[in-house]
Amino acid sequence: MIHIGEGRRTLARAFHLAVPGANERMPMNPRFDFSGRTAIVTGAARGIGSVMLHRFVESGAGVVAADRDTTGLAESCTGLDETRVIALTADVSTPEGAARIVAAAVDHFGRLDICVNNAAVAPHAALLEERVEVWDLVYAVNCRGTFLMTQAAARAMIAGGAGGRIVNFSSGVSGTGSPGAAAYASSRAAVESFTRVAAIELAPHDILVNAVSPGLIDTQPKPLPPVMAERLGRRIPSLPLARPGEPEEVASVVLFLASDLSSYVTGAVWNVDGGAGIGSRPTGQIIDDDPRYDWVTGKGPA
């Protein structure tokens, strides 16, 4: 399922095993091989979904690229091997949409191995001004869509008898009190909880279910609106890695979770956030500002 360079020497170097020169910083370019496998990527018309679509096709998979945006989907599929991509306009928040997406995979490619539930909406509004219809839309796409796709995909995988992989999407805001994100953040937290339940229930069928939780990923069209540019200009230097993530970096984790390399991983939430969820980048020198004692001897200053 994975090729790393050309043989043992390169493989050892890729993982920094004990070979001469292993401590030199060598390029690590693992390549996945999904030949003969079929994947679904929802929300494939743009952003992270579009990059995942390309990565799966380049790695040999047959892919159903699904989105409600027909024009964006056509642009996203441009240049891909047409024999290995089905572009399908469908709404993941409806049972009919989810059923059509899964049926396309089975009808066209004869099997379903991987389902990436990436489609989501992220409108932000102040809690006191939140509109019920927007709240309901967020939950319809982000939660009901993930449930419907998981259920339909799992049924097809069970019928296929070869197990499978389901990767859901959360967000770093699921665990913080991000202003304006009441609907979006809570919907992403719900997906994390759903992922754990699905992982337990589908484990007997050899279907592994995980979630990725991206942090700040560089998906916005440029130039950025001035207010957003100003906000990000303040936020980015405080991120532990002091930069936004690339969609490619999220796709890499998803491909890993879809591959045989992750065969003992289920029910987990994978943060792809450059460390944003664990703290801030240190600023200045790190000092102990409690000078009362020597911590080893317990004595005060002489």
Ligand X SMILES: NC(=O)c1ccc[n+]([C@@H]2O[C@H](COP(=O)([O-])OP(=O)(O)OC[C@H]3O[C@@H](n4cnc5c(N)ncnc54)[C@H](O)[C@@H]3O)[C@@H](O)[C@H]2O)c1
Contact positions toward ligand X, by CB under 6 A?
A: 42-43, 45-49, 67-69, 72, 91-93, 118-122, 141, 145, 169, 171-172, 214, 216-217, 219
Question: Which of 139, 184, 264, 293 is flagged as catalytic?
Answer: 184
Residue type at position 240: P
* Residue number closest to ligand X, CB atom: 47
CB of 192 to ligand X, least distance (A): 12
C-alpha–C-alpha distance, residues 300 and 296, integer Å: 11
- Coil/strand/helix, residue 268: coil
Give the pair of three-digit tokens for residue 97. Answer: 């949409």
User: Which class for 4: exposed (0-12), middle (13-18), buried (19 or more C-beta within 10 A)?
Assistant: middle
CB of 44 to ligand X, least distance (A): 7
- Residue with Cβ nearer ligand X (145 or 164): 145
User: What separation in angstroms does the CA of 290 have from each of 107, 282, 287?
Assistant: 67, 18, 9
184 catalytic residue (yes or no): yes
- Residue with Cβ nearer ligand X (13 or 98): 98
- Coil/strand/helix, residue 2: strand
CB of 300 to ligand X, least distance (A): 49
User: What separation in angstroms does the CA of 204 have from each of 152, 200, 211, 234?
Assistant: 17, 8, 19, 47
Contact 174, 211 (CB under 8 A): no
End-to-end CA distance of the chain: 64
State CA 62 to chain mean position distance: 19
Give the pair of three-digit tokens for residue 12. Answer: 């050892």
- Residue with Cβ nearer ligand X (13 or 173): 173
C-alpha–C-alpha distance, residues 180 and 297, integer Å: 50
- Residue with Cβ nearer ligand X (10 or 94): 94
CB of 106 to ligand X, least distance (A): 19
Helix (H) or strand (E) holding 100: helix 95-109
CB of 82 to ligand X, least distance (A): 20
CB of 251 to ligand X, least distance (A): 10
Contact 275, 240 (CB under 8 A): yes
Alpha-helical (H) ranges within 177-288 are: 182-202, 226-235, 247-258
Please provide residue 207's backbone torsions phi and psi, each rounded to the nearest 5 degrees. Answer: -105, 120
Which residues are part of the catalytic machinery? Answer: 184
